[in-house]
Structure 1
Amino acid sequence: MRTVTSVLVLTLTLGAGLTACSGNSPSAPSTSTSTTLRLALSADPAPLDPDTYYEAEGLQITTAAYQGLLTYKPDSAEITGLLAKSWKVSSDGKTYTFALRTDVKFSDGTAFDAAAMKASFERRVALAGGPAYTLAEVESTDAPDPATFVVRLKRPVAPFLDYLASPYGPVAVSPAAAKAHATGDDHGAGWLGAHTAGTGPYQLSSVVKTTRYVLTANPHYWGVKPRFAEVDFAVVPDFSTQSIELQGGQLDMVLHGLNTRDYAAIKQNPGFQVRYLPTLFKTQLWVNPDSAVFGPLAARQALRDSLDTVALTKQIYGDRATASTEVYPEGMLPKGAAPDMWQANPQALTTLSGNKGKSVTIGYYGDNSLQQLANMLQIQLQQAGLTATVRPYGPAQVFALPAEPKQRPDILVAAMNPDAAHVDTWMSIYQATKAPVNFLGCSVPAADKLADAARVTVDRAESQELYTKAAREYQNSLCWINIADVRDTIAAKAGLTGWRHQMPWVFTVDLAALEPTS
């Protein structure tokens, strides 16, 4: 399923034609060893330059190779230091001072310091890719000494630390590598589409486009050395094939995409394990406010009230999800701040009797779980007298919807996640009137105003209260009907241990923490 991270297909595509960066054969992976971990990608990722890459399918590669100043503690929305040991924020919320680690090198062997971090910030702004929004309010940066990095903002930005902790936040990129491999004024983006130059535990050592991506341990890594010296990603678009290859021994892990029956079968086999990892995925129905049937608020209310989210979640996801109870994924607002529960009423759709015979389109974007939900909704609407058609939307189609109102379905079934564990990265990407991924064009001006005020409010409690008020306004529009909170679900060989996961990340696990299968 596509996520907010793949949102803006506005991402730069420099280096899209790159092929192998070494002569590795595209043959099938070799037999598993204690030093090689074999995974799969379901699609060929966009160029992997971290300052333009803004997708989900290659996130496991970029997060293994690059690091930023901050990160999240495992399975938590709590921010902790990474390349920064500590930080201070001025009382006006506009100046951030970071004390940096002094024992870090890039994978090319050059030293990481404040000047390198300053150059990395400047590179991101210059490339102006999708993730550049994280630095849009930066006025200046400074490196007064090698271990101190200072960022000054034009105005307060409530989620700024979360931007820095996000998997799409600014990371350290070797200035020497970017300069050495620059073509014209591309800042090395062409080369970095298929190579890496970060401070993470791995480096990208081989790319065979559409076939294979290989990571090898970074010999200059400052942290604990990874137990797997090599991570081999085969491009396997069909998830059924991935399941077969896992169970047949060609893969050690499948990161996502299997259906509920597959996971249940794998769990029954003692040679394998299924891990459920907290993340921020939310399955929703997006309702078109210009729909001939669901345009009236009362119609959207009837649609919502008719849904038994507990039953739907159990049938579609099994143990992989829980029925949604809050407006946003857990942890983005204080628990209970914006509850979202109702008593299901199967008869609620009878209020739409005046629309009998009218046609509605149910679009879905994502894996077969979303298709299954769309099909179940189709049956329910047909029983209410509507003529309902289910239609799949591919990435290009769905992300064009904000600019193409005539192509919008009446209802869109999708599962999305934010860029970071801050509620602003949900509101400003999906719900604001001018949000880049407000697929069906819903506008809630009162909520937009509250969210805008929250974003520049320095006091955390006051800012959170404004965000909560905005949440309730967006909720009351019934343009977004929550169904389930979905976990990252990973199927793997039994015995593989050391599982560690950052909650906002999707389809990823900390590769450096994994211990080989016994």
Structure 2
Amino acid sequence: MALETTGNSNETAQHPFCISRRSVLAAGAAGIALSFMGGRAVAAGKDTLVVTSGADAVTLDPGASFDGQSPLLWRGVYESLLDYKGDTLEFAPSLAESYEVSDDKKIYTFKIRKNVKFTDGEILDAAAVKFNIERQIKIKLGIAFALGAVTSIETPDNDTVVLKLSEPSDGFLSAFAALVTIGMISPKAIRDNEKDDDGAQGWLRSNMVGTGPYMMRSYTQSQQAVMVRNPDYWRGWEGDHFERIIVKYVHEASSARLFIEQGETDVALFMPDDVVESLDGKPGVTVTNVPSFDLYYLMMNCKHGPTADPKVRRAIAHGFNYDAFIDGTLRGKAKRARGPIPSTFVGHADTPVIDFDPEKARQLLAEAGMPNGGFKLKYTYESGYFWKRPLGELFQSNMKDLGIEVEVQELSPAAWAGLLSNPETADHCFGVVWWPTLATPYDYLWSLFHSAAQGSAGYNWGYYSNPEVDKLLDAGMVEPDEAKRLELYARAQQLIVEDSPALFVYEKNYRMPASDKLKGFVFNGMRTATLDFYNLSSS
């Protein structure tokens, strides 16, 4: 059977659930080295799903990071209260059998599924759910930003959790269903391994105790993760399911391509775009082509150096050749972004497009007192996100034409995140791709552009700050009327484009190479670059 793929339709994308996010921790790990048989990597088969990833996981703790590559592993071991149904934004029950929302949208009641155990034998009940939500709020990382309105968490019985909010919160339920969510971790494991009141963050960087279909058997950061079936999984193992999951971190694109061409791996993630396109049509390989919510940016530092001047940022925005990147590097398999929200996403506003115009760029530099450029910028990217290097190289070339020198630097994901999330060392330009944690414009706009999302609190590592934008986003978050809420978000988008804290480069369909024997894959734009391991099998 051919690979099954579906994607979010524009009609589906009109549901406004939501909120925002990201904060990354550096992670250490312990485990075993790559598994080999006869000098060759372990091959894929009916019992084993083998995935290659060009981008390393940062941490195994689902509550402590907002990076894009760690959720691949989280999804095998951890579950939350809700999920998304298929390729839609409709909520589906998971660890919560059902939920109710009060008319004023300030009280959320979850009924917890019975007879669910963590892999250490502990029972999942209302107390465990409350413990995990409180931990998330306490450590102030990951999805914690979406829980700010919570005033109390009550457990009237073993199977019921009641959350009370101080005010309505746009997309509150999405915090319990998203890519970055409140994954349920054994409270006993946290208590037993907590140090200095850290919520066991140190231990959980390389250890996992969840309720999900798989258990982490071994893990060596940047090399390999091996997961095996959880024998007591609450959904059972009837039907076709993989016995084990192997995720291999392959940093050479040529090696990853060879593995999937020869059938040694089932899925390849985080590959260069040109390599993905070269696999399209290869025997035994299918490349997905489904709509996504991914938007690619080149962020600039708005606090320090020449790019603290909005005129300089706008000049740089006019000095970048967007079409050259899309038509050359991406071979035309993308379209120009039109502002900070994808055109396929709910709440996208029709904002002015800053086109490639070198003369306009020079004019703006002259108005900023820098007619010949004459300054240096640093562009830094992390290993594994292959599109970021050619983006930086074209940026370097285009800026040279304006008299601006750009240094291109590569770092490990953890070092990259540590550099940019520290306001003292974040004077860099960098590429970032965003897909929503919560299905609302607030997710993109808060995470990347709100003043409160700077540093470790979110992903505003360009340190952009506009009090009017902050007020619009804060008002939109609590506005119960959808039309009024979207008006607030639209005005925020207009101001962001005027301030040019980033280059809004492109948006593209989700292109994932996989074996044509893989069955059960359904793409959901809210869970990009991950796999629903439990529902996959091989023909």
Q: Give TM-score scaled by structure 2 length.
A: 0.81
Aligned to 1:236: 250
Say if 2:130 and 2:161, in contact at 8 Å, map to a contact too. Answer: yes
Q: Deviations over 1:94-134 (max 9, x none)?
A: 21112333464434455433233223223334555444334
**Amino acid of the structure 2 residue aligned with 1:251:** T
1:508 aligns with 2:530: yes
Aligned to 1:389: 406
- Tell me how far apart the structure 2 counterparts of residues 439 and 178 of structure 1 sit (CA, whole Å): 30
Cα pair distance change 1:261/1:458, threshold 3 Å: closer
Once the two structures are TM-superposed, the CA of residue 407 in structure 1 deviates from its matched residue by: 5.6
Once the two structures are TM-superposed, the CA of residue 25 in structure 1 deviates from its matched residue by: 5.8
Aligned to 2:427: 408
Aligned to 1:445: 467
Alignment of 1:90-489 (within 5 A): 90-102=102-114, 104-108=116-120, 110-178=122-190, 192-223=204-235, 225=237, 227-256=241-270, 258-289=271-302, 296-305=309-318, 307=320, 309-318=322-331, 320-330=333-343, 332-335=345-348, 337-341=349-353, 344-345=356-357, 347-351=359-363, 352=365, 355-356=371-372, 358-361=374-377, 363-366=379-382, 367-384=385-402, 386-392=403-409, 394=411, 395=413, 396-397=415-416, 399-401=418-420, 403-404=422-423, 408-409=427-428, 411-436=429-454, 437-489=459-511
Once the two structures are TM-superposed, the CA of residue 306 in structure 1 deviates from its matched residue by: 5.0
Segments of 5+ residues of structure 1 without an aligned counterpart are none
- Tell me how far apart the structure 1 counterparts of residues 20 and 470 of structure 2 sit (CA, whole Å): 22
What secondary structure, in the 3-state scheme, does the structure 2 residue paired with 1:355 have? Answer: coil
- Tell me how far apart the structure 2 counterparts of residues 304 and 188 of structure 1 sit (CA, whole Å): 43
- Tell me how far apart the structure 1 counterparts of residues 390 and 528 of structure 2 sit (CA, whole Å): 22
Cα pair distance change 1:480/1:131, threshold 3 Å: same
Say if 1:324 and 1:340, in contact at 8 Å, map to a contact too. Answer: no
Cα pair distance change 1:293/1:355, threshold 3 Å: farther
Say if 2:23 and 2:65, in contact at 8 Å, map to a contact too. Answer: no
**Which piece of structure 1 moves more, 392-401 or 168-177?**
392-401
Cα pair distance change 1:211/1:24, threshold 3 Å: closer
Say if 2:442 and 2:473, in contact at 8 Å, map to a contact too. Answer: yes
Once the two structures are TM-superposed, the CA of residue 310 in structure 1 deviates from its matched residue by: 4.3
What secondary structure, in the 3-state scheme, does the structure 2 residue paired with 1:40 have? Answer: strand
Say if 1:26 and 1:212, in contact at 8 Å, map to a contact too. Answer: no
- Tell me how far apart the structure 2 counterparts of residues 374 and 208 of structure 1 sit (CA, whole Å): 30
- Tell me how far apart the structure 2 counterparts of residues 47 and 357 of structure 1 sit (CA, whole Å): 40
- Tell me how far apart the structure 2 counterparts of residues 426 and 161 of structure 1 sit (CA, whole Å): 17
- Tell me how far apart the structure 2 counterparts of residues 5 and 233 of structure 1 sit (CA, whole Å): 28
Cα pair distance change 1:459/1:89, threshold 3 Å: farther
Say if 1:272 and 1:493, in contact at 8 Å, map to a contact too. Answer: yes
Once the two structures are TM-superposed, the CA of residue 293 in structure 1 deviates from its matched residue by: 5.8
- Tell me how far apart the structure 1 counterparts of residues 399 and 140 of structure 2 sit (CA, whole Å): 44
**Amino acid of the structure 2 residue aligned with 1:462:** K
CA RMSD of aligned residues (A): 3.4
Once the two structures are TM-superposed, the CA of residue 17 in structure 1 deviates from its matched residue by: 5.2
Aligned to 1:8: 23
- Tell me how far apart the structure 2 counterparts of residues 397 and 210 of structure 1 sit (CA, whole Å): 15
**Amino acid of the structure 1 residue aligned with 2:135:** R
**Amino acid of the structure 2 residue aligned with 1:511:** F
Say if 1:102 and 1:147, in contact at 8 Å, map to a contact too. Answer: yes
- Tell me how far apart the structure 2 counterparts of residues 134 and 415 of structure 1 sit (CA, whole Å): 20
- Tell me how far apart the structure 1 counterparts of residues 492 and 527 of structure 2 sit (CA, whole Å): 25
**Amino acid of the structure 2 residue aligned with 1:356:** N
Once the two structures are TM-superposed, the CA of residue 478 in structure 1 deviates from its matched residue by: 1.5
What secondary structure, in the 3-state scheme, does the structure 2 residue paired with 1:492 have? Answer: strand
What secondary structure, in the 3-state scheme, does the structure 2 residue paired with 1:87 have? Answer: strand
**Amino acid of the structure 1 residue aligned with 2:281:** Q
Q: Give TM-score scaled by structure 1 length.
A: 0.84
What secondary structure, in the 3-state scheme, does the structure 2 residue paired with 1:318 have? Answer: coil
**Which piece of structure 1 moves more, 434-443 or 348-357?**
348-357
Segments of 5+ residues of structure 2 without an aligned counterpart are 1-18
**Amino acid of the structure 2 residue aligned with 1:503:** G
What secondary structure, in the 3-state scheme, does the structure 1 residue paired with 2:164 have? Answer: strand
- Tell me how far apart the structure 2 counterparts of residues 122 and 53 of structure 1 sit (CA, whole Å): 16
State the identity %. Answer: 25
Once the two structures are TM-superposed, the CA of residue 460 in structure 1 deviates from its matched residue by: 3.6
Say if 1:100 and 1:149, in contact at 8 Å, map to a contact too. Answer: yes
